[in-house]
């Protein structure tokens, strides 16, 4: 084992030759390291049938104008309730919104009877619980893309 003076001399000569501790070849390279995101990208490319490394392209699935400003006249996004289940869903959301507004109003009314507060809270709870029964599946949601991400 070399002593301190020899180690300093070796470090000084290495710096003069351009092989310092931070020289290009002395640090460990991350070139061969695979991280999770690259593995997911590779799996996605293989599932699509693409080979090789990913190259960026100018292709967009959704245009910017429709993603930011959806057309509300589109039949998929907004339509009148047609079935009984959709009417119950509409009524559930109406109960939730009206009871939430009523609860905010009740907070500033002094000396309100307890039965009124309990009734408003019960209507809110019924509205929320009814959504579990009349809510649609994620497959019926037009605001999701093919990966299940909200648009």
pLDDT, one tens digit per residue, over 60-96 is 565 555 555 566 666 555 667 778 888 888 999 999 9
Q: What is the pTM of this model?
A: 0.45
By the 8 A CB rule, do 151 and 71 touch? no
Measured distance CA(64)–CA(67) in Å, rounded: 5
By the 8 A CB rule, do 72 and 119 touch? no
The owner of tokens 């009984």 is 84
* 37-67 confidence digits (pLDDT tens): 777 877 787 777 776 666 666 665 655 555 5
Q: Looking at residue 63, what is its pLDDT?
A: 55
Structure tokens at 61: 């699935």
Beta strands in 46-150 (DSSP E): none
Measured distance CA(121)–CA(98) in Å, rounded: 11
The per-residue b/e assignment along 97-113, b for 16 or more CB within 10 angstroms, e otherwise, is eebeebeeeeeeeeeee
């Amino acid at each position: 084992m070399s002593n301190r003076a020899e180690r300093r001399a070796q470090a000084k000569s290495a710096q003069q030759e351009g092989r310092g501790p931070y020289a290009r070849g002395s640090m460990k390279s991350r070139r061969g390291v695979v991280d999770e995101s690259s593995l997911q990208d590779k799996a996605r490319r293989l599932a699509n049938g693409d080979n090789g490394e990913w190259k960026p392209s100018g292709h967009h699935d959704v245009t910017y104008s429709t993603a930011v400003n959806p057309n509300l006249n589109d039949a998929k996004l907004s339509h009148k309730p047609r079935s009984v289940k959709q009417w119950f869903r509409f009524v559930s959301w109406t109960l939730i919104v009206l009871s939430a507004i009523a609860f905010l109003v009740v907070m500033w009314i002094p000396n309100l009877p307890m039965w009124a507060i309990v009734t408003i809270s019960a209507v809110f709870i019924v509205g929320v619980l009814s959504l579990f029964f009349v809510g649609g599946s994620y497959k019926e949601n037009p605001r999701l893309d093919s990966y299940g991400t909200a648009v």
